[in-house]
Chain A
């Protein structure tokens, strides 16, 4: 079995993914079948955000990946120029 921090980090990741999954499933799949006067609707944003938020998060992720690749490529180009 993995030691100390590895276990904590691993279980933390599992917990985060479960939380996100259950909340998103309830939002997308269960909520339309619940009466609109029920109190549970207070805990969920308007439905349009169910698509907008993952889309924005995905675009941000792509942006960061692109920036990271650009940074690494520039750094390696500077290193080869210095050694020439």
Chain B
């Protein structure tokens, strides 16, 4: 709950700053190139968050530790168990 409230506060502060700057409510005369950078900023934040998420997922998929010996051992044990149960009459 606390984390959510903190995130919402942060978003509210950033959002109101952005609105104040884009509508010129503070009376600052920003140069035109700064204004052009400013107005797509929320979309930019969303896209970069998405890219970061994709990046993290990709990194973890690529560096996931496969235990190949354990896999082979487990599979042979499964086959043994299946053969054993089939002999005892259990139908798969």
Contacts and interface: CB of A to CB of B under 8 A. Distances in A.
Interface of A: 1-3, 6-7, 9-14, 16-18, 20-21, 24-25, 28-29, 32-33, 47, 50-51, 54-55, 58
B58 A17 contact: yes
Contact of B37 (A9, A14, A28): A28
A9 B63 CA distance: 11
Contacts of A54: 43, 46-47
B42 to A, nearest CB: 8
Interface residues of B, number: 27
B58 A58 contact: no
Given A2-B65, A6-B61, 16 more contacts: A2-B62, A2-B64, A6-B64, A7-B62, A10-B59, A10-B64, A12-B58, A13-B58, A14-B59, A17-B54, A21-B47, A24-B48, A29-B44, A32-B32, A47-B40, A51-B40
Contacts of B61: 2, 6, 9-10, 13
Interface of B is mostly: helix
A50 B40 contact: yes
A2 B63 contact: yes
Interface of B: 32-34, 36-37, 40-41, 43-44, 46-48, 51-52, 54-55, 57-66, 68
Contacts of B34: 32
A10 B43 contact: no
A11 B59 CA distance: 7
Contacts of B52: 17
Contacts of A13: 54-55, 57-58, 61
